[in-house]
Amino acid sequence: MSVLLETRDLCSGYGDVQVLKQVSIALEQGQVTAFVGSNGAGKTTLMRTLAGLLPTRRGGIMLAGHTVDALDPPQRLALGLSLVPEGRLVFPDFTVADTLRIGAYAPHARAGWRARAEQMYELFPRLKERRNNQAGFLSGGEQQMLALARSLMSCPKLLLLDEPTLGLAPAMVDELFAILGRIRETGVTLGLVEQNIQTALSLSDYAYVLEDGQIALSGPSAQLLDSPEVQASYLGIREEAASVS
C-alpha cells in the first residue's frame, strides 16, 4: 500500500483563530478514509486546507510525493485532488450537461470529456434524465450527485467529499453511498467527511475523529467500531457490564 496524501503537523485557520492544530493524517491509495467529529471540530477547515482554499500556516501537505502547500487549487487539481465542497455549490443557471463540461475544464481533463460525461450518465441515471435541466431545479440529492459528477469529470485520483449526505432523505443517502462504492471500485481514493460516526465507520477503511481542530482518535474503522471507548463516547452504546449493574 502507498500513501496518496499525507499531512504533518498541519496548522491553519481564519484571521487570529487557529483552527487546525498540528493535524497529521495519511490517506492510503485506493482506500476510503473518513473524517468525523461534531460541528465546529474543523472538518471543513481541513478539507479546505487540503484543497488549497485556505493556506497552510505551519506543517505541510504531501500529495503523491509532492509538497503542495505553495500550490493553488487548480494546481492541486492537476495533481489529482478534487474537493466536493460542503453545501454542493452548483451553479443554478447551468444545465446538468454544461456543469459536467465545466468539470472537465482543467487542461489535463479536457481530452475525452464527452466520453467521460457519458460515463457519468451511466453512473448517475438521474442526471441523464435531467441533462438539459438547470441545476437549480434539481432536488438536493440530485444536486449532490451533480457536484460529485462534476468533480469526477476532472479525473481525480483523490476525491474529498465534505458532508455529501447532509440534509438528504434516507433513500437518497443510500443511493449516494452505493455510487461512492462504485467510484471506489474504479480506484479513486476517497476522503469522506461524515457527521454520522456509525455510517462513517461502516463505510470506510480508516477513520480520524477530530475534536477542537485536533485528531482525538484514529485507526482502522472496523477496530474503532468495536472499541468500547468509541462505543461509549461516540456511538452512545454502553457496555453491557455497565448497564447490568
Ligand X SMILES: Nc1ncnc2c1ncn2[C@@H]1O[C@H](COP(=O)(O)OP(=O)(O)O)[C@@H](O)[C@H]1O
Where do contacts with ligand X occur on this chain (CB under 6 A)? Answer: 14, 17, 19, 37, 39-45
Measured distance between the N- and C-terminal CA atoms of the chain, rounded to whole angstroms: 45
Q: Which does 116 bind (CB under 5 to 8 A by kind): ligand X, Mg ion, none?
A: none
C-alpha cell at 114: 464527452
Specify the DSSP class assigned to residue 109.
Answer: G
Kindly give, in sequence order, each residue whose CB lies less than 8 Å from that of residue 23, ignoring residues fewer than 6 positions away. Answer: 7, 9, 10, 11, 42, 46, 59, 210, 213, 214, 215
Can you point out the beta strands (E) in 29-175? 32-36, 58-63, 66-67, 81-84, 158-162
Which amino acid is located at 124 in the chain?
F
- Least distance from ligand X to the Cβ atom of residue 125, Å: 31
Nearer to Mg ion, 44 or 82 (CB): 44
Among ligand X, Mg ion, none, what does residue 74 contact (CB within 5–8 Å per kind)? Answer: none
Per CB under 5 A, does 44 bind Mg ion?
Answer: yes
Q: Which residue is nearest to Mg ion (CB)?
A: 44
Cell numbers for 31, please give them. Answer: 482506500
- In the list ligand X, Mg ion, none, the entry touching 60 (Cβ below 5 to 8 angstroms by class) is none
CA distances from 177 to 12, 93, 124, 170, 184 (A): 30, 27, 12, 11, 10
Torsion over CA of 144, 150, 151 and 157, rounded to 10 degrees? Answer: 130
Least Å from the CB of residue 24 to ligand X: 17
**Shortest Å distance, C-beta 46 to Mg ion:** 9
User: Of the ranges 20-28, 82-90, 125-133, 184-192, which one interacts with Mg ion (CB under 5 A)?
Assistant: 82-90
- Is residue 45 close enough to count as binding Mg ion by CB under 5 A? no
Interatomic CA distance for residues 123 and 128, integer angstroms? 9
Nearer to ligand X, 45 or 56 (CB): 45
Tell me, what amino acid is at 90? V
Q: Least CB distance from residue 33 to ligand X, whole Å?
A: 15
Nearer to ligand X by C-beta: 12 or 99?
12
DSSP at 238 = P
DSSP for 191-212, please give it.
EEE-S-HHHHHHH-SEEEEEET
Distance of closest approach, residue 204 Cβ to ligand X, in angstroms: 17
Please identify, using beta-carbon distances, which residue of 43 and 130 lies nearer to Mg ion.
Answer: 43
| Residue number, 14 or 137, with CB nearest to ligand X | 14
Nearer Cβ to ligand X (122/212):
212
Report in angstroms how near the CB of residue 85 gets to Mg ion at its nearest: 10
Provide the binding-site residues for Mg ion, judged by CB under 5 A: 43-44, 86
